[in-house]
Amino acid sequence: MSATMEQVWITRRGGPEVLAVRAAPRPQPGRGAVRIAVEAAGVNFADVMMRRGLYPDAPRLPAVPGYEVAGVVDALGPEAPAALMGARVAAMCNFGGYSEAVCVPASMCHVLPPGVTAVTAAAIPVNYLTAWQMIRVMAPVVEGDNVLIHSAAGGVGVAVTQLCRLAGARVLGSASPAKHGFLREQGLDWVFDSRQRKYAEEVRSATGGKGADVVLEPRHGRWIGESYDSLAPCGRLVLFGFSSAARGSRSGALSALGTLLRVPWFKANPLRLMNDNRMIGGVNLGRMWGQQDRIAGWMRSLVQLLGEGGIGPVIDGVHPFSRAGEAHARLEERRNVGKVLLVPDGRESAGGPAR
């Protein structure tokens, strides 16, 4: 095995063109850790935000992005479970996932069910854990609930839709018109244009005047107010992501500030929330790295559902490391339908062609 490997680096703040493949020493696992020979890595909007200089938890650039991988364990650190050697696993990593090899705590590795490909597995951790945290933990969904998910055609939207269906909830969603056919195929009960500014009344009409029991909002800014108005009594609004701050070549500190300035802060005051009998919460999976035992429990449940066929990601496209910029552009321009993934060069056939 070569002592070096290839990684995709964000060389500086900027557009997709700043991504570059570089050689680096192959890492060695420390105590309680394992090394994974990466076969696929997930691409997430947090990576785009990191590249644009808008992700506060990211390491100083240049750096290697990537929160989730799947592959084969090929080295064990001291005290790591011997049973993991040679296992096919999915794992979360604290950055660095765009690599041919990555070291992670053994507790963050989850052995894949038979027949599950690395491409499928790498699409699970970030999107499905985010969905799980939102609708199983923060705002539990039960049978008969109306759940509204914005950016419904993305990886998180697909995960939310599938988990809501398992719970017996109705799913409403927004996306660009070109994606509405896909959403209907996914079984959404009601679909509207994500650029539509006034949709609270439509939500009430679609729910028999009640409103949504849960609204999941990734855009922030002015969208928060409309999503809040879409809530039913006892409704819960969950905020995740910050996608409105990243708008292609215009993205930067000013676009982030503009998004924050458009937040209707007055609607989040305690008196208003009490009088309206509503809740607002937030989810940032990246800030849960210190809760590894808890996350591992969620992931075990998801892996079981994956093996049983209860969930399954929709793959938008699989891109080699050398075309990582195209993968980022597809996500940043909101052209993806489902999950965008990267694979080391030469492994493209493992997951199908890139779109």
pLDDT class of 262 with cuts at 50, 70, 90: low
pLDDT per residue over 8-39, tens digit each?
999 999 999 999 999 999 999 999 999 999 99
Which pLDDT belongs to residue 355?
A: 40
Q: What is the pLDDT of residue 354?
A: 46
Q: How many other CB atoms are found less than 10 A from the CB of residue 209?
A: 8
Q: For residues 350 and 342, is the Cβ–Cβ distance under 8 A?
A: no
Same domain, 84 and 198: no
Cβ atoms 88, 51 nearer than 8 A:
no
Mean pLDDT, residues 203-229: 92
The fraction of the chain above a pLDDT of 70, given in percent, is: 90
Taken as a whole, the chain contains a residue count of 355
Q: What digits encode the pLDDT tens for the residues 119-146? A: 999 999 999 999 999 999 999 999 999 9
| Residue 208 located in a structural domain | yes
Pair 68, 134 in one domain: no
pLDDT at 227: 94
- Does the pLDDT value for residue 251 go beyond 70? no
* Residue 257, in any domain of the structure: yes
Residues 103 and 161 in one domain: no
Give the chain's domain count.
2
pTM reported for the whole predicted model? 0.92
Q: Are residues 155 and 262 in the same domain?
A: yes
- For residue 296, is it within any domain? no
Residues 263 and 327 in one domain: no
Q: Which two tokens stand for residue 137?
A: 């933990």
Tens digits of per-residue pLDDT, 231-242? 999 999 999 976
110 and 133 fall within a common domain: no
Does residue 299 lie within any of the structural domains? Answer: no
How much is the average pLDDT of 86-102?
A: 97
Q: Between residues 219 and 80, which one has the greater pLDDT?
A: 80
- Band of residue 166 on the pLDDT scale cut at 50, 70, 90: very high
Residue 82, pLDDT > 70, answer: yes
Pair (141, 87) in one structural domain: no
Tell me whether residue 306 is in a domain.
no
The domain boundary, picked from 286, 304, 322, lies at 286
Q: Are 169 and 237 found together in one domain?
A: yes
Phi first, then psi, for residue 317 (nearest 5°) are -175, 155
pLDDT at 275: 94
Question: How much is the average pLDDT of 178-194?
Answer: 95
SS3 per residue for the chain: CCCEEEEEEECCCCCHHHEEEEEEECCCCCCCEEEEEEEEEEECHHHHHHHCCCCCCCCCCCECCCCEEEEEEEEECCCCCHHHCCCEEEEECCCCCCECEEEEEHHHEEECCCCCCHHHHHCCHHHHHHHHHHHHHHCCCCCCCEEEECCCCEHHHHHHHHHHHHHCCEEEEEECHHHHHHHHHCCCCEEEECCCCCCHHHHHHHCCCCCEEEEEECCCCCHHHHHHHCEEEEEEEEEECCHHHCCHHHCCHHHHHHHHHCCCHHHHCHHHHHHHCCEEEEECHHHHCCCHHHHHHHHHHHHHHHHHCCCCCCEEEEEEHHHHHHHHHHHHCCCCCEEEEEECCCCHHHCCCCC
Residue-wise pLDDT for 28-68, tens only, equals 999 999 999 999 999 999 999 999 999 988 999 999 999 99
**Residue type at 46 in one-letter notation:** A
**Residue 245 belongs to domain spanning:** 127-286
CATH of the domain at 154: 3.40.50.720
pLDDT of 243 reads: 52
Identify whether residues 51 and 25 lie together within a single domain: yes
The tokens of 235 are what? 């409704």
Residue 52 lies in a domain: yes
Maximum alpha-carbon separation in the chain: 64
- What angle in degrees, to the nearest 10, is found between the helix axes of 292-308 and 125-132? 100
Indicate if 225 and 169 belong to the same structural domain.
Answer: yes
340: domain CATH number?
A: 3.90.180.10
Asked whether residue 50 falls in the same domain as residue 147, the answer is: no
302 assigned to some structural domain: no
Structure tokens at 103: 């070291």
Per-residue pLDDT, averaged over 255-263, amounts to 55
Confidence at residue 334, expressed as pLDDT on a 0 to 100 scale: 92
pLDDT of residue 350: 55
Shared domain for 15 and 102, answered yes or no, is yes
Answer yes or no: is 295 within a domain. Answer: no
Can the peptide bond before residue 56 be classed as cis, meaning omega within 30 degrees of 0? no
